[in-house]
Structure formats: structure tokens, C-alpha cells
A and B are shown apart, each in its own frame.
Chain A
């Protein structure tokens, strides 16, 4: 694992037809929403260029680009910025801004700034970016008097800035300088005021302080270049050939950092972090593992990683980001974990809206936005499950959802590098915001509207393969039987020896199911055991055990499993099927499992045990959004 900022790894890859889609713009139904959605991908230089041209055409054709906020940006530089500029429009659109660029001639910073009739000053820019680097200050070699050189350079920069402001009224955006990597003396450079490194550092301190004095903004290029690595940031070939100021492979990262700053200036930064729980905020599945079985805390590598995630969420809360929870879980079980786990840093009072239920995640995100009175475009969702991420992206494209690696230790990197919460100020209100929302986690009503998930489910490309119990599956089967608490109809526990017994006994059928989708192999996710009996009225089957992993809820896997079971029973000459639900502390969610599958309820006793039964020929059939592969011996016993 690693993290490469230049790849913007929190974004999903661009679709193969990205450039073609851009070339078709503007067209019927082109909107700011559509452009923002298109821009929210990982783009290469070709895709970004196609987007730049598409946006220009849209602006030219006066397409209504709401909700994107228009921003005319002039970029003044001592280097060639045309290719950097190719990537700015997509990056800005990603952060809610429709940029129109004004790029004056190369290396004319002072002339452009001071001439009231320069193209930049006449264009009426909303903002001017002074994208100068150390070479503009003459810091490519040692100065005779380092301190004087710094003061002279900073004065020159701010004089140019003041001229622009007085001529055009534009907002000013300054850049910090990346230090040239080559040393003068070596480690001694920091002690010598005339070394390039010392001059760059002193200049950066001045730029930050004086930008604040004049009400300007700062794009922290020094930090960006440091994260990427100065040797990767600078590219002497590009400078020699074209006066391109830094390596083109950093253009995307540079543009995204500029884009998020423009977004913040326009008030587009996001306000609320919505957290998934199982395997996102803690390790494990609380419904199955119990509060004491969760992995969070010191002394365990994964526990440390989840502790860091909680710490990150609290740090964001302290700077004004509102926290919420959206999780497929039982409300009380999840709440207990947050209130009682001894190692947690995060507690229920830190969470403004707490949505733990079995509704689909998109509905819960809508409920959170409504409760907080913010738009969906104010939400960021952190979720370890790629299928959930894809589902919410498809249903609610305005919600920002970072892609995540498999290792949770890197989650904070991905989330915090994506710039969702970029700020251009930090006020008392910001400090209080997260607290001002109800300190007790509240629950929002989920509107029970039927969301058409058919297309989404089909798009997952799921395939379920069902087979009888066998030796390779045995240990995982008994693990599931003994660990699964929530999606478990009878909560009967069997040892591995008993599981092996099912394989050989003629009056038992054990089925195991594995699920794959386009994101990968989810492994074994369902187990069913039936008892077969020959009676006067014919051969019957009774479902002794049915359990599934909660990871596959809402994907119609139950229906597929039921279909597979019916097929197997039919091949064995079974004519009647019965089943039961036995309540436990944790399995309330499947109380109506068989009702949903269309099996008639025959009786419910005082202990809450529900009994079902129907002739095999009367079982309901289903349209399945997945490929079902049933592998069982064809010979009837």
C-alpha cells in the first residue's frame, strides 16, 4: 500500500468514453450538475483537456451552469501555464466552480499587473492567481544579501498584486514557493540567509503574513510540492524545453488544490462527514461480534488504525465539520457500542444525526441532509464497502464519496487529502458549529419511498454460486454457523463434526453460497441446512438453519438463495417445504424473512416462534438481478 497524491486516488477512474462524452457537450440537458459529475473522476491530461474545451463551449453557448458558481480566473506566471490551465476547469468543476480562464503572455507578471489596459485588467477577473515560483524571485542562485533579496522580491510581488486589485478589483491568490531541491552547501543552507532554501522559506513566511494583511488567499504550493516530493515536483527537462514550471504529471494535483480553494472561496466546501460503522469506524461487525468483539484501541494493529480514524473524525469535528452516522445496523446495538466500548474516542454525543437501521444508505443520507438543513452536496460519506459506495454514487451523485484502499490505516489519508472541507477562514462560529447541532445523536425519519434499485443491482454484475457442503467449505461453514447472530433464522450452533455429518447423511441437505460482484469476491455469504423426511403424503423438507452475512443485505440474495433451494429440493423429489423463525436477542431483522419470500405463516406461538409451510409447487418465483449457478449432484437420492 502507499499513497500517491498525483494520482488523486480518492477519485473513481474516468469512464472509457470520457473524451467522447465531453465532445458531445453542450447538448440537450447539459447542466452544472452533469459537468460536476463528469469532472469528479481521475483524469489524465487528455480527458482534462477535453473537459476544458467542453466547458468553454458551454460558457460560449451561455448554457445555464447552476449550481456551479462562475469564476473568471487570471493566471499570471513566470512560466508556461497553458498546460496547467488545461486541467484547472475540471478540477474547479469538481469543487463546484465553473472557471473561465484568462492566461496572459508568458513571463509578463509586472507588465500585465500594472497596465490598466492589459487583457487581464480589462477582462474583469473575479480572481487573479500570482503563480510565480522561486525563479521569478531570482532564487535560483545564491544572493549577495539574502534578506534584502527576499524583501525586494516580496515587495515586487505585492506591488504587482496591489496594481491588479486597483485596476480590476479582483481577489488576490498568492502561492507559496516550492524550494529548489539542489543544495548550496547542504544541511548548512538553513543557517545561511543567502541560500536559495533560506530565501524561499523567508519569502513564504512573508507571503502568508502579507496575504492576510491585504485580504488575499494563499495556495500552499510549498506544502503540495513537499507532499509529492521536490524531486518529482520539479522537472528540469520541461523547464529547459518549454519553461513549464513543474512536472506535468503534477498538473492534476495542482489543479485540484487550486479548485478546492476556489470552491472554498465560493462557499462550496462540504460541511458534514457521514460515517459508516462496521469496518469503517471500528473493526468487526457489531451485530455479530458484539461490543466486546470489536477491534478498536491500543495494542492491536488494526485497533490502532480504527482509533486513528476516530481521532480524525473528532479533529474534523473540532474544526467545525458536523459528524453523522449512516449504517446498516440495529439502532440499539450500534448505539451501545458507541456508548460503552471502553477504548472508543468517539461517543454518541459527537454525532449530530445517527442513522443505524436497515433502510438503504441513500435514503439515510437524504434524511441526514434534511435534518441538518443542508444540501446533499454538503455531505461526504466514508464507507469501507465498495458496493455501498457505488450504490450511493448512483443514487445521490451530489454526495462526495472517497474511494478507499483495503487497509483502514490509510483511510484518513484518502479522506483528508481529498480537500472536501477546504477552508479560507476559521471563525468562532466554525468552532461552535459541530457542537451547536444537538449534542445528543438524533434519529431522522427515513422517507419510505420505493427507490428503484433494479438498475443498480444489475450493474453490480453479481453471480451467486450455490453448492452442497463439502470439505473445502467446511471450516468456513461452521465459522458462519457459530458467529452469525443477526441474519440467522434459528441461531442453531453446530460443531465442525456435525457440519461434516450433514455432508454424508441422506436425510440432510446443506447448501453453501458464494457471491461475486464486479468489485470482487465476497466469499461465502450464506448457509442453509434442511432436514428431509419421507412421510405418507410425500417427501418433505424443513429448513433447520438459514443464515447470511449482513454484507449482502438489500441485494436480493435471499431471493436467489430461495430459488436455488427450491431447485435443489425439486431435484430430490421434495414436494412440501416448511420453515421456522426462532427469535433471539439479535435476529429481529429477519423476523419476517419468510413472509417476504412469500411463504405462508402457519402459526406463531407465545415464545414468538413462527412456523411456515407450503407445497413446493406453490413457491413464489423471483426476477433475480444476478447470475445464479446451482451446482448439485443431478441424481435424485
Chain B
């Protein structure tokens, strides 16, 4: 799966969790930029990502990503391993 595909699926998840159909997501989109990206929705996002990509985050990974690019990096690395 390439980065664009990962980003597209992550975008769908963020739109669902943040309940914003036309949310524009880029790799630079950071938790500080999006009001709805709070700690509760972060967990929802990460759980949805695990389900969507069929992977499991480790304890030190699960809270780490602070922007979409870092999250895509993490997913890419987990899928490759």
C-alpha cells in the first residue's frame, strides 16, 4: 500500500471521527490545528486505524503521532514489518 492510499484511508477515518465530511487532510495536518483532534478523538482514531489496517500499536507508539505525516510513517512501518 502506498502513502497516498494510506493517507486517503486515514482521511476517511478522521472525517468519521471528527464528524466533518469535507475535512481537508494533508501530511502536515497536526493535532494542534484541528480543534476536534483532542485526546478522546485521538484514541478513537488510533483504534479505528488498527481496525482499518489490521495492525496493533505498541504502548510507546500509540500516543506518539502528533501530525498526520507521523501517523502515516507509523502505519507504513508497521505494514512493512
Residue of A23, A86, A241 touching B62 (CB-CB under 8 A): A241
Q: Are A241 and B16 touching (Cβ within 8 A)?
A: no
Q: Tell me the count of chain A residues lying within 8 A, CB to CB, of chain B.
A: 20
Q: Are A237 and B51 touching (Cβ within 8 A)?
A: no
Q: What CA separation (Å) do A44 and B63 show in the bound complex?
A: 21
A 237-282 contacts with B by CB, 8 A: 237, 240-242, 244, 248-249
Q: Are A242 and B43 touching (Cβ within 8 A)?
A: yes
Contacts of A82 in B (CB 8 A): 40, 43
Contacts known (A23-B21, A249-B51); A50 close to B58, Cβ less than 8 A: no
Interface: A19 (CB within 8 A): yes
Interface: B48 (CB within 8 A): yes
B40-69 Cβ-contact flags toward A at 8 Å (1 or 0): 100110011011000011110011000000
Residue among A237, A240, A249 with the most chain B CB within 10 A? A237
A 431-468 contacts with B by CB, 8 A: none
Interface: A586 (CB within 8 A): no
Q: What CA separation (Å) do A614 and B50 show in the bound complex?
A: 66
Q: Are A237 and B16 touching (Cβ within 8 A)?
A: no
Q: Are B62 and A49 touching (Cβ within 8 A)?
A: no
Residue of A23, A45, A240, A241 touching B44 (CB-CB under 8 A): A45
A 51-97 contacts with B by CB, 8 A: 53, 82-83, 86
Interface: A518 (CB within 8 A): no
Contacts of B62 in A (CB 8 A): 237, 241
Contacts known (A50-B16, A248-B47); A237 close to B40, Cβ less than 8 A: no
Q: Are A46 and B13 touching (Cβ within 8 A)?
A: yes
Q: Are B48 and A83 touching (Cβ within 8 A)?
A: no
Q: Which residue of A lies closest to B19 (CB)?
A: A53
Contacts of B74 in A (CB 8 A): none
- Nearest CB in chain B: distance from A251 CB, A: 9
Interface: B6 (CB within 8 A): no
Contacts known (A45-B48, A82-B40, A83-B44); A19 close to B16, Cβ less than 8 A: yes
Q: What CA separation (Å) do A249 and B51 show in the bound complex?
A: 8
Contacts of B19 in A (CB 8 A): 23, 50, 53
> How would you classify the secondary structure of chain B's contact residues: helix, strand, loop or mixed?
helix
> How would you classify the secondary structure of chain A's contact residues: helix, strand, loop or mixed?
helix
Contacts of B21 in A (CB 8 A): 20, 23
Q: What CA separation (Å) do A23 and B19 show in the bound complex?
A: 8
Q: What CA separation (Å) do A288 and B33 show in the bound complex?
A: 69
Q: Are A237 and B44 touching (Cβ within 8 A)?
A: no
Interface: B17 (CB within 8 A): yes
Contacts of A242 in B (CB 8 A): 43
Q: Are A83 and B59 touching (Cβ within 8 A)?
A: no
- Nearest CB in chain B: distance from A245 CB, A: 13
Contacts of B43 in A (CB 8 A): 82-83, 242, 244
Q: Are B16 and A83 touching (Cβ within 8 A)?
A: no
Contacts known (A49-B16, A49-B17); A240 close to B47, Cβ less than 8 A: no
Q: What CA separation (Å) do A44 and B43 show in the bound complex?
A: 15
Q: Are A46 and B59 touching (Cβ within 8 A)?
A: no
Q: What CA separation (Å) do A443 and B68 show in the bound complex?
A: 63
Q: What CA separation (Å) do A566 and B50 show in the bound complex?
A: 57
Q: Are A44 and B48 touching (Cβ within 8 A)?
A: yes
Contacts of B59 in A (CB 8 A): 236-237, 240-241
Q: What CA separation (Å) do A178 and B6 show in the bound complex?
A: 37
Q: Are B51 and A45 touching (Cβ within 8 A)?
A: yes
Q: Are B44 and A86 touching (Cβ within 8 A)?
A: yes
Contacts of A241 in B (CB 8 A): 59, 62-63
Q: What CA separation (Å) do A53 and B44 show in the bound complex?
A: 14
Q: What CA separation (Å) do A83 and B51 show in the bound complex?
A: 14
- Nearest CB in chain A: distance from B23 CB, A: 13
Contacts of A45 in B (CB 8 A): 44, 47-48, 51
- Nearest CB in chain A: distance from B11 CB, A: 13
Q: Which residue of B lies closest to A251 (CB)?
A: B47
Contacts known (A83-B43, A83-B47); A46 close to B17, Cβ less than 8 A: yes
Q: Are B48 and A46 touching (Cβ within 8 A)?
A: yes
- Nearest CB in chain A: distance from B8 CB, A: 15
Q: What CA separation (Å) do A53 and B41 show in the bound complex?
A: 13
Residue among B40, B47, B51, B56 with the most chain A CB within 10 A? B47
- Nearest CB in chain A: distance from B68 CB, A: 17
- Nearest CB in chain A: distance from B27 CB, A: 22
Q: Which residue of A lies closest to B12 (CB)?
A: A46
- Nearest CB in chain B: distance from A15 CB, A: 15
Contacts of A244 in B (CB 8 A): 43
Residue of A20, A44, A49 touching B51 (CB-CB under 8 A): A44
B6-45 Cβ-contact flags toward A at 8 Å (1 or 0): 0000000100110101000000000000000000100110
A1-38 Cβ-contact flags toward B at 8 Å (1 or 0): 00000000000000000011001000000000000000
Q: What CA separation (Å) do A46 and B62 show in the bound complex?
A: 18
Contacts of B58 in A (CB 8 A): 237
- Nearest CB in chain A: distance from B45 CB, A: 10
Q: What CA separation (Å) do A248 and B50 show in the bound complex?
A: 10
Q: Which residue of A lies closest to B62 (CB)?
A: A241
Contacts of A49 in B (CB 8 A): 16-17, 44
Contacts of B57 in A (CB 8 A): 237
Q: What CA separation (Å) do A49 and B13 show in the bound complex?
A: 11
Q: What CA separation (Å) do A23 and B48 show in the bound complex?
A: 18
Q: What CA separation (Å) do A363 and B25 show in the bound complex?
A: 51
Q: What CA separation (Å) do A50 and B21 show in the bound complex?
A: 12
6 pairs from A and B in contact (CB 8 Å cutoff): A19-B16, A20-B21, A50-B16, A82-B43, A241-B59, A244-B43
Known: A82-B40, A83-B44, A83-B47. 5 other contacts (CB 8 A): A49-B17, A50-B16, A236-B59, A237-B62, A241-B62
